[in-house]
Structure 1
Amino acid sequence: MNIYYKYRNFQKILIFILTTLLLACDSTQAKEKNIAPRKIVKGDNYGKLYDQGKLRTYYFYIPKSDNKKHPMPLVFVFHGDNGSGRSISNVTRFNKLANQKGFIVVYPDGIDQKWSLRGNAKGKVDDVLFVSALIDHLKQQINIDSHKIYASGFSRGGILTQALACKLPNKIAGFASVAGSLPVRLKPNCQPQTPISMLMINGTSDRDVLYEGDDHTQRGALVSIRDMVNFWRSHDQCTSSHKSSQFSEHKVKTSLYTGCNGNSEVWHLAVVNGGHFWPGGASTDESVNRFNAKLGLNASETIWNFFQRHSLS
């Protein structure tokens, strides 16, 4: 009898523990789905989202021209390694442009100031999935034009933008990478089912994202800039091209590929002797500021002009 009662007590304890765990799990899931948003105002805003078991943060800017009755375009801007949403907003000056042109800008924060293109057993998240979840989350918070959501990024953020073009073409209408390229590992699996409108800006003397690409056996290797451009040009089956050079003290070689499927376009701007920087952006490096002043190229304005040409059907 004692053994029987001990067994029954053990069962009760086990049921209690399992019930507690299930309730805790349900509570966590509810927490992940339901973060009460702060009041959204014109100007600076900050948001949070639970995704893949992680608390994610983002900074976003609502232009002063916002009319809640009318949906607005939305532009994502992804920072580089060791950056943040707020820091890349200062570099790109997209907020000022958003006020002038009337669109919302969102600057997500990478975990530990970095982006991950695929999750793994070590607990890394897949930031492509995070961006997809963030789009759904933002649609619940802000009146967004779902046909006019765009993605841009600098450096590692530009690499993430390339990955988003591969994997989220159904949610994002146009893409722009600055000082980024397409990962060698990702290229064979990058087979979006729709045409992709892609703008790329690269410095020919970039020492971080090499214009000639990396050794393909290297961890995290990137394809050459020429291969990246040709990849998107081929994917969109573009039939015509136009090349020109903008001459100042520094030169920008522009290649525009049109006649592409679905009215998509592929643009590439090569900044001759340019390094790892955001053309026309702010910098704490005075030599970059001097280079920018002589260059006469504003990447943020160029990107927005490109985005305006494209929307999801």
Structure 2
Amino acid sequence: MTRLPYSRLYFALLVILFSAISSYAVAKQSPHDGLHLETIHHDGLQRSFYLHLPPQHTSSDQFPLLLALHGGGRADGDELAERTGYNKLADQKGFIVAYPNGIDAQWNDGRGKTARKSDKIILIDDVGFLSALIEHLINTHNVDPSRVYMTGLSNGGMMTLRMGCEASDKLTAIAPVIANMPAKIANTCRPDSPLPMLLMNGTQDPMVPWQGGTVRFMRKEMGDVLSTEETLKLWRKLNQCSSIPSVEMLSDTDKTDSSVVRVVSYQCASNHADVILYAIEGGGHNFPGSNTPDLPRLLGNKNNDINGPEVIVSFFMSLNEQSRH
């Protein structure tokens, strides 16, 4: 029998473990507490999404909407809900959360042919689907069109950036996580209006490189992205931001996670459309403070000094308050 080298065997076992953890999370969530699976039709396809309504929701009041996009793994939006705690935050803050599902758990984020079944994925109109979903929720669940926010992880984060470029009229702000701007669409990024943006990336991400270049999972190449600095520079230019940032090092509350957080903020001229970077120094391909799998050999270090979902919701809700004044 052919034996795998130790390193390859280790990574293969980690991939199996990751898939098993994902499957367990989905099974544990059924029936989904506080989540409703719904569908709409777009571009000849039935598309699905999970929806969570806060207890304050009524048909007479308009509510903010958060769209949270899963990564390009093998699980849909219900697992993202399980691992991030956005539903609990929605109940506390009073906003609606939608977790759209990509086709085959992937998004057509603009990188082109990048992953499994990618020949099919590049034909999917995800910009159109997500735009139609926003309109659907405005019409059916009293969403305030002036308070629509989008975030996403990895493939979902890059899809969030694409939406910021191509459907900015539908969005109030975006927050991509462990994601950089897909290189193929960077030169054509033309938002209709300035869009506040919070980016949260790890400097030691083994999949989506901080310094830009090819996105990789082990030996598989999955398209090219700009660097984190180039992504910030692009959005600073689009939002007419100052080139001089304010920088803050956050407290290293967890000495065991081999990472710290540096917050870089650029003030912009247009209606509070600031650009903010949460640089996870030493961090890998993971969502700080969330319940995502902790696999440092495969994904790098996970920071626990901050709670990423809480940071993102606070960012969006601060814009929510500004829009009311």
Kept in 2: contact 1:149–1:173 (CA 8 A): yes
- Deviations along 1:232-265, one digit per CA (max 9) or x if unpaired, are 1121111252011113133101101113323211
Report if aligned partners of 2:251, 2:305 keep a CA contact under 8 Å in 1: no
Q: Distance in 1 between the 2:201 and 2:296 partners?
A: 18
Change (3 A) 1:122 1:244: closer
SS for the counterpart of 2:195 is: coil
- Unaligned stretches of 5+ in structure 2? 1-32, 113-117, 216-220
Deviations 1:180-218 (A, max 9, x none): 1101111000011311100000011111100011059x8
Q: Tell me, yes or no, if structure 1 residue 109 matches structure 2 residue 90.
A: no
CA gap of 1:203–1:122, structure 2 versus 1, over 3 A, is closer
Q: Tell me which amino acid in the other structure corresponds to 2:169.
A: N
Partner of 2:86: 94
**Could you list the per-position Cα deviations for residues 30-72 of structure 1 after superposition, in whole angstroms to 9, with x for gaps in the alignment?**
xxxxxxxxxxxx9321110111111111001001122322111
Give the whole-Å Cα distance in 1 for the aligned partners of 2:307 and 2:167: 27
Q: 1:78 to 1:184 in 2, by over 3 A?
A: same
| Aligned match of 2:250 | 246
Amino acid at match of 1:60: L
8 Å contact from structure 2 (residues 261, 305) kept in 1: no
What residue number does 1:33 align with? none
Summarize the Cα distance change of 1:186–1:211 in structure 2 as closer, same or farther, 3 Å threshold: same
Structure 1's unaligned 5+ residue stretches are 1-41
Matched, 1:228 2:227: no
Q: Which residue identity does 1:210 align to in structure 2?
A: P
1:296 is matched with 305
Q: Which has the larger displacement, 89-98 or 246-255?
A: 246-255
> Cα distance, 1:137 vs. partner?
1.4
Is the partner of 2:224 in helix, strand or coil? coil
Question: Please, which moves more after superposition, 261-270 or 112-121?
Answer: 112-121
1:67-82 matched pairs, under 5 angstroms: 67-82=58-73
Name which of structure 1's ranges 95-104 and 256-265 shifts more when overlaid on structure 2.
256-265
Q: Is the 8 A contact 1:49 1:56 kept in 2?
A: yes
Normalised TM-score (structure 2)? 0.77
Code of the residue aligned with 1:222 in structure 2: it is V
Q: Helix, strand or coil: the match of 1:181?
A: coil
Q: What's 1:165 paired with?
A: 164
Asked if structure 1 preserves the Cα contact closer than 8 Å seen for 2:208 and 2:214, the reply is no
Percent identical among aligned pairs is 31
Q: Is residue 79–residue 157 contact of structure 1 (8 Å, CA) maintained in 2?
A: yes
Aligned equivalents of 1:81, 1:286: Cα separation in 2? 17
CA distance in 1, matches of 2:222, 2:153: 20
Is 1:264–1:310's contact at 8 Å kept on the other side of the alignment?
A: no
Distance in 2 of aligned mates of 1:228 and 1:176:
13
Whether contact under 8 Å (1:60, 1:107) holds in the other structure is yes
Q: Aligned letter for 2:313?
A: W
Higher alpha-carbon Rg = 1
1:271 counterpart residue number: 280
Task: Evaluate the alpha carbon distance shift between residue 287 and residue 122 of structure 1 in structure 2; reply closer, same or farther with a 3 A threshold.
Answer: closer
Paired positions, count = 270
C-alpha distance in 1 between matches for 2:202 and 2:312: 16
Q: Shift of residue 122 of structure 1? A: 5.5
Contact kept, 8 Å, 2:152 with 2:176, in 1: the verdict is yes
1: CA distance, partners of 2:71 / 2:319:
25
**Distance across 2 between alignment mates of 1:61 and 1:81:** 22
1:301 Cα shift? 1.0
Task: Please report how far the alpha carbon of residue 304 of structure 1 lies from its aligned counterpart in structure 2 after TM superposition.
Answer: 1.1
Q: What SS does the aligned partner of 1:139 have?
A: helix
Structure 1 stretch displaced more, 83-92 or 182-191: 83-92
TM-score computed with the length of structure 1 as normaliser: 0.80
**Partners of 2:222 and 2:282 in 1: how far apart?**
26
Give the counterpart letter for 2:209 in structure 1. L
